[in-house]
Every structure is written in C-alpha cells, then in structure tokens.
Amino acid sequence: MTDHPVHSAPVLGIDIGGSGIKGAPVDLTTGELAQKRLRIPTPEKSTPKNVAKVVGEIVEHFIDTIGTDGPIGVTIPAVVTHGQTRSAANIDKSWIDAEAEKIFEDHLGRDIYLVNDADAAGVAEVHYGAAKDHPGLVLLTTLGTGIGSALVYRGVLIPNTEFGHLEIDGHDAESRAASSVKDKEGLSYTEWAKRLQRYYERVEALLWPDLIVVGGGVSKDADKFLSKISVHAELVPAKLLNTAGIVGAAWLAADRQQHPDLLK
C-alpha cells in the first residue's frame, strides 16, 4: 500500500461537474475537508478557459488556507493522459485533445494535477473510505449520469479505465445501467438491479476484483439494491459520497509532487 503523501498544509481539491464546480482544502492526514466547500455553477459554455476562470475563483477563496505555492488537484469528467483531456462527458467538446493541465497552470500560475473524476473518487475511497487499506484489487464504479470506473491495485491507481462503456448484450453498458437510466425509464430498484447484475457479472468476468465499491449519488440508497446483486467479489457502498472527487484530487496532487509524470 502507498503511504499518504507528505504535505503539512491542507491541499485544495476541485471537482468539476456538468452543473457545478466544487472545491475545498483537504487534510491529507484524515481525508476530511479542512473548510466548508465552495460550489460555483459550471459556466453554460464550459470551455477550458471559462472553467479555468471559475477554478481561479475557488483558489482565491481558499488562498489563506492553502498558501500561494501548494499543488492543486482538479477532477474532470474526461479521460486525462499526461495533462491532456482526451474525451468530454457533460462538458464542452472543446476539451477533447486540449492541453488542459497547461491551460489551468498558465491561468493560475501554480502546479495543477488534472485527473478523471472517477479515478479521483476511487483513490479517495482506497485511502480514506470503503476500501481503506485494502491489500488487493479494488474496482470503484460511480453510478450517475453515466457509469464511471476506477481500478486500484494495492493502493496504486491504474488510470483512465472506461468500464462504463463496455458493450454488453449489444448496448453501451451505461446506456442501460446508469442511475440516470433508472430515473428516465422509471425502473424500480428491483428492475434496475437486474441490469446492474448483468453489468457487474460481466465486469467481474473480465477483471476479477477482490472488492467492488459502488459510488455515485445513488450509493446513499445502497440498501435498496446492492443485496439484489450477486457476484464473487465483496460489493460495498462508497463512504465519501459527494466529497470523494475533492479528496482524491487533493491526494493525487500532493502525490504528483513526490512522483512526477515522467512521460509528460
């Protein structure tokens, strides 16, 4: 297992979503927010430069707590490879193949670590939440507008998995099993659980994780559907809920300072 990165001051984590951008300083010793989070609506035209301006407002709001030179972790609903955003889910299509990390760094004048939102949530759950100190292979899935995924082995993130887009029975998995589809089609938890059963048994056949953590807003209702799903792995609800992205982004930003990206 990896230790918590050494960082005395709280580290700012910022979680960019389709409707809101949320941020707060994180105490990396405990994984708890050091101050109440600030939420600002995502700009209607959510281009990298417009979003960077809002991120700048959040940084300024917490400057007394985080200082002027600490790293900042930022999540984005996109695949991120070496600072470039390769896709765009629920944000402007101009993010595709953008040098996004550099855009943020140029605007803010400080070190930024940009990470996929599900990856950040997975890291948070492994270090502070439902998978804390787990010695094996952990799969986190976020059930929301789509299905996000994060794969962590012995505390180390394997980034940018897109297991929500597996083709299952001729369909993109998230188009059948995301919680937004449950709401849109008016499915009962029992009906939805049948779709989740098919999804998780397929994912398990490919990955064989030791633990599956189910996140996303619907995880607060886990008692209504998790027991209806039968897989070999232990299946548990996420613990950090709406702070997971912020916490994971902060952890990864501090970790990046100690372990730079040698391919960037």
- pLDDT confidence of 240, banded at 50, 70, 90? very high
Return the structure tokens found at 9: 């001051």
pLDDT averaged over every residue in the chain: 96
Q: What is the pLDDT of residue 147?
A: 97
Does the pLDDT value for residue 8 go beyond 80? no
Chain position carrying tokens 């794969």: 151
174-196 burial string, b = 16+ CB within 10 Å, else e? bebbbbbbbeeeebeeeebbebb
CATH architecture of 11-119+243-258: 2-Layer Sandwich (3.30)
Decide: pTM greater than 0.85: yes
Mean pLDDT, rounded, for 169-190: 97
For residues 182 and 225, the answer to whether their CB atoms sit within 8 Å is no
CA atoms lying within 13 Å on the CB side of residue 27:
7
Q: What is the pLDDT of residue 173?
A: 98
Alpha-carbon 128 to chain mean position? 14
Amino acid found at 172 = D
* Residue ranges in the chain assigned as alpha helix (H): 48-61, 63-66, 100-108, 117-128, 174-177, 179-185, 189-207, 244-258
Q: What is the pLDDT of residue 90?
A: 83
Rounded Cα gap, residues 206 and 192, in angstroms: 22
Q: What is the pLDDT of residue 4?
A: 74
Q: What is the pLDDT of residue 115?
A: 98
Rounded Cα gap, residues 180 and 128, in angstroms: 27
Numbered ranges of CATH 3.30.420.40 in the chain:
11-119+243-258, 133-237
Class of domain 133-237: alpha beta
Q: What is the pLDDT of residue 89?
A: 85
Q: What is the pLDDT of residue 54?
A: 98
Task: Classify 239 as helix, strand or coil.
Answer: coil
Mean pLDDT, rounded, for 19-27: 97
Chain position carrying tokens 């990864």: 252
Mean pLDDT, rounded, for 22-43: 97
- pLDDT confidence of 6, banded at 50, 70, 90? low
Query: Tell me: the pLDDT tens digits for 206-232?
Result: 999 999 999 999 999 999 999 999 999
For residues 238 and 139, the answer to whether their CB atoms sit within 8 Å is no
- pLDDT confidence of 141, banded at 50, 70, 90? very high
Amino acid found at 98 = A
Rounded Cα gap, residues 11 and 71, in angstroms: 7
Q: What percent of the chain has pLDDT over 70?
A: 98
Q: Which of 7-11, 17-21, 128-132, 168-172 has the lowest mean pLDDT?
A: 7-11
Query: Tell me: the pLDDT tens digits for 68-113?
Result: 999 999 999 999 999 999 999 889 999 999 999 999 999 999 999 9
* DSSP string over 32-51: EESS--EEEEPPSS--HHHH
